[in-house]
Structure 1
């Protein structure tokens, strides 16, 4: 490890290197070599920056600064300094805000003043924490000061971070590979790293656990990591089967059955602030008391946090859930639930519930669309970690917790035969639910894991497809006729390949969209447009779109059947969807939670 502090210029140079490389394995080895030269704290910061952030996903740390504001700032600066550059024109020509700012910096003659990684990180947090009246002007001042002290290359990656356009196509999964290489030179540490990230979804903190450690010491450090309320646990996932008859072959008999809701997955945390103090997180010093907990003024400093399956903090969006959690007598817990909107005694569809995800007018929204949290599991209770207990025991423990007004205990039944299972399934479908989840009595809660301990049986099984399919939008087509006015006529959908941490396009989806949706989608995708095909996206030649977009938005489709595609069998398992149509746009899932290539192959084989 070197003695001097790492500069932001060195970080920018490594960013440039990995951006020019297509091979995931080569990127992994290059990053691992670079990490070995860093201090633990520098490695933590780099881990966030690679993902385009300054903190984990569950920490509210958005820059809230648009590319439009940046272009306006630079045009005013160029005019005041009489610099010959048309910033908007160059942005349109180059197709990338980072390259545009790099050119701007070159025209201005800016040179690097040797800012350290820590100094750049402080500056980024300064932008995040600038809020309220006049915040745009104050952010402009910070950004301009930074650009004047950066080289053109540093400026390029600095603005890409604040505009949310870093887009290396690297996820936390690739970083876990990198961490394994840092310690042992291969991927053999991944199981330990996956478990650790599963119970502490903070990529920077995970790096601090293994930094400058030999294998045995790193493994021990990861194994000592425990669940902590306030830090989200990766949600347990469910597997699908090809038929109802297969269910008990997988789970054994008897098994537990719970309703499958079409809601927003929500992890509910309650704890006292003093219990959060024993770990050092590099980002924590930048947060105010309000950021750390919603109820900072409450007696005994009781904190409540609500997290989605994407690790987003939605505490302030669902105040009735938070208040009900606070009212529960137990001092600390982590509950797993689904949040559902309801009206006139009936639960609402997912898209209606999603209207509650807003930062403003929350009071009005809660009156128009009240929500309930349907609680189906408990992971932590009164200082005790429960995830290693069997599912049956956790459900029994959960049944003894007295829920608050906007929280309701999910009904759990034990079944031993197919007739009873089918009866419960049909009862839930008639209630408007998606189906049921069947769970093995034994088995611990495995964060982020998908296996046959938990199985979903959905009403779509009654049709040709075993299940709906979650695709990632990687491009769109202009369309013709009336749809040409919307700018989007159809979407290119891709599967996630967990082996390559990439995406593989399988079909064009143009049915099921309303005119209003298409207009909205065009605006949403404009900020994600890529100049060419992203390096982490594979696409058959006959499916290539008019416009490529960064793989981020997940949408759900149903189709008549899964079909074999002739040619290019190496993409998407050689499969496609016949007559795909939209079910839900912009699901509450990250792109690597979309349906995997291996899953679609399995679904094809089931039928």
Structure 2
């Protein structure tokens, strides 16, 4: 508890790493994965099914002396998720009462924040990886790679502590286990991206869809979102396509979207809502269409460390007909034509990629650069003000924050109410209170969980907001339920939009 508070109180990445590594070094080897999960704001049991109101209304006097240990809390959390069926509500109430009755007031607050997903002490994955490496005495690059391939900080910690360098080195791709997707860096311009990565590059359409990672092992297919959520059961249309590919095993990276009758992309929100319902027939407009741009494994061979040119050859051999429209080794004029074609077809822009680059799982690699016709950033909604006039009774003006790259809470950079349709106003007025921390007469303040895509003309220096900058002519494009706050744009990306004179 003390470490969590101390980590949350500092903006220094070095200090965070030191604090975390010290507490991890003190943990028993069997407890370390659990401690890693907790200090990352997660539980090893996954979703506990306990709501904020249930815990807020829990009237249990705190213990006067600390007596709980890691094993005690783990056992209680496991019992919570195991309590199902008839009588489960009473059983869960009893488990919570006994757990909170044995906890001090400070421990109760920590448990509430942990169990509701509100533990925001700034232990981002990158910081925790460094802390695990220091505590286990293992090289950071080795721990970082193992985390990229397992997608699990607790599992990585267990490997580092129990198996050391040999266990970490042995981690490879596993068909059926999602890995963190490679991300792109915003380009300064189309010309700058072409010059930086050319001449051996490929220019893909940047589709306005949902990121997917598909795995196939024989007849077994798994489909994951960009946040590594398994949505296989919700997308039988995608599964049927992957099962029909001419291979035994494969891992493909790509996008999926719904299309209009003339082949243009439907609005992003329609694609995202499709994950909550089934398409009824091949003619159903909700049918998801897959488009792939990378191949990480094919028929027993891992390709993640191979150059993109080889990965694309593998992709063409098994799913060339599903490849995202792309131009290989284009001239600058051909790159401009590819960008214009993507926009004309209703897509977001293009991705410019180095053909020599490897797949940097879980990282924003300079080898992938995205180019859009306007500046857009993904920011975190920190709160919303009650509207006036026509918007009276609706939550309207949004408080927006950029991600702190050092793991602190999001940094406020501006407000906007522009771009909010009547439908979005109704939605956020209903949804935001579910993420509320507190409110005053003007504003409902939120846990940093909701990501929104914002279009802006640029930024300017300003002392009005903690970030030292302010958004210029910001407007809402859409909400991004496919992204977490950890995937929002860091404030560094906004600083790069400052004009040369910094004004």
Q: Same fold (TM over 0.5)?
A: yes
User: What is the CA distance between 1:391 and its match in structure 2?
Assistant: 0.6
- Three-state SS of the structure 1 residue aligned to 2:322 is strand
Confirm whether residue 352 of structure 1 aligns to residue 302 of structure 2: no
Q: Distance in 1 between matches of 2:159 and 2:498?
A: 41
Confirm whether residue 265 of structure 1 aligns to residue 244 of structure 2: no
Change (3 A) 1:563 1:115: closer
Confirm whether residue 244 of structure 1 aligns to residue 175 of structure 2: no
Indicate if the aligned counterparts of 1:337 and 1:377 stay in contact, CA closer than 8 A. yes
Quote the residue 1:512 is aligned against: 419
Indicate if the aligned counterparts of 1:13 and 1:153 stay in contact, CA closer than 8 A. no
Instruction: Tell me which of 405, 411, 414 is aligned to 2:328.
Output: 414
User: What is the CA distance between 1:44 and its match in structure 2?
Assistant: 0.6
Confirm whether residue 456 of structure 1 aligns to residue 370 of structure 2: yes
Q: Deviations over 1:224-258 (max 9, x none)?
A: 32122222221111123233222331112142122
Instruction: Tell me which of 470, 477, 495 is aligned to 2:378.
Output: 470
Q: Distance in 1 between matches of 2:458 and 2:271?
A: 29
- Three-state SS of the structure 1 residue aligned to 2:312 is helix
Indicate if the aligned counterparts of 2:182 and 2:363 stay in contact, CA closer than 8 A. yes
User: What is the CA distance between 1:319 and its match in structure 2?
Assistant: 2.1
Aligned residues: 498
User: What is the CA distance between 1:22 and its match in structure 2?
Assistant: 7.0
Indicate if the aligned counterparts of 2:258 and 2:285 stay in contact, CA closer than 8 A. no
Confirm whether residue 551 of structure 1 aligns to residue 471 of structure 2: no
Instruction: Tell me which of 19, 25, 43 is aligned to 2:32.
Output: 43
Q: Deviations over 1:579-600 (max 9, x none)?
A: 1000011342222322222222
TM-score normalised by length of structure 2: 0.88
User: What is the CA distance between 1:27 and its match in structure 2?
Assistant: 4.5
Change (3 A) 1:271 1:140: farther
Quote the residue 2:116 is aligned against: 163
Change (3 A) 1:381 1:137: farther
Q: Distance in 2 between matches of 1:392 and 1:598?
A: 31
User: What is the CA distance between 1:116 and its match in structure 2?
Assistant: 4.6
Counterparts of residues 105-120 of structure 1 (less than 5 Å): 105-106=60-61, 116-120=69-73
Instruction: Tell me which of 428, 433, 438 is aligned to 1:526.
Output: 433
Q: Distance in 2 between matches of 1:364 and 1:157?
A: 46
| Structure 1 unmatched runs, 5+ | 1-11, 72-96, 273-301, 461-466, 534-544
Counterparts of residues 15-414 of structure 1 (less than 5 Å): 15=4, 25-55=14-44, 61-68=46-53, 70=54, 97=56, 101=58, 104-106=59-61, 116-131=69-84, 135-148=88-101, 150-183=103-136, 189-211=139-161, 218=165, 221-271=167-217, 302-344=219-261, 345-358=263-276, 361-362=277-278, 367=284, 369-402=286-319, 408-414=322-328
- Three-state SS of the structure 1 residue aligned to 2:50 is coil
Q: Distance in 2 between matches of 1:138 and 1:458?
A: 53
Q: Distance in 2 between matches of 1:165 and 1:365?
A: 41
Instruction: Tell me which of 338, 342, 349 is aligned to 1:435.
Output: 349
| Structure 2 unmatched runs, 5+ | none
Change (3 A) 1:203 1:532: farther
Change (3 A) 1:326 1:16: same
User: What is the CA distance between 1:442 and its match in structure 2?
Assistant: 1.0
User: What is the CA distance between 1:53 and its match in structure 2?
Assistant: 2.6
Q: Deviations over 1:421-446 (max 9, x none)?
A: 12222122111111221221212111
Q: Deviations over 1:380-418 (max 9, x none)?
A: 122221011111111011111148xxx923233213312
Indicate if the aligned counterparts of 2:208 and 2:265 stay in contact, CA closer than 8 A. no
Instruction: Tell me which of 435, 446, 460 is aligned to 1:563.
Output: 460
- Three-state SS of the structure 1 residue aligned to 2:498 is helix
Indicate if the aligned counterparts of 1:105 and 1:151 stay in contact, CA closer than 8 A. no
Q: Distance in 2 between matches of 1:589 and 1:443?
A: 25
- Three-state SS of the structure 2 residue aligned to 1:357 is helix
Q: Distance in 2 between matches of 1:456 and 1:370?
A: 27
Q: Distance in 2 between matches of 1:177 and 1:599?
A: 23
Is 236-245 or 380-389 further displaced after alignment?
236-245
Indicate if the aligned counterparts of 1:250 and 1:452 stay in contact, CA closer than 8 A. no
User: What is the CA distance between 1:34 and its match in structure 2?
Assistant: 1.9
- Three-state SS of the structure 2 residue aligned to 1:347 is coil
TM-score normalised by length of structure 1: 0.74
Quote the residue 2:358 is aligned against: 444
User: What is the CA distance between 1:379 and its match in structure 2?
Assistant: 0.7
Q: Deviations over 1:47-75 (max 9, x none)?
A: 2223343339xxxx32223233x26xxxx
User: What is the CA distance between 1:605 and its match in structure 2?
Assistant: 4.6
Q: Distance in 1 between matches of 2:454 and 2:150?
A: 32
Q: Deviations over 1:444-473 (max 9, x none)?
A: 11112323322222232xxxxxx2111111
Q: Distance in 2 between matches of 1:24 and 1:440?
A: 31
- Three-state SS of the structure 2 residue aligned to 1:165 is coil
Q: Distance in 2 between matches of 1:162 and 1:411?
A: 44
Quote the residue 1:299 is aligned against: none
User: What is the CA distance between 1:499 and its match in structure 2?
Assistant: 3.3
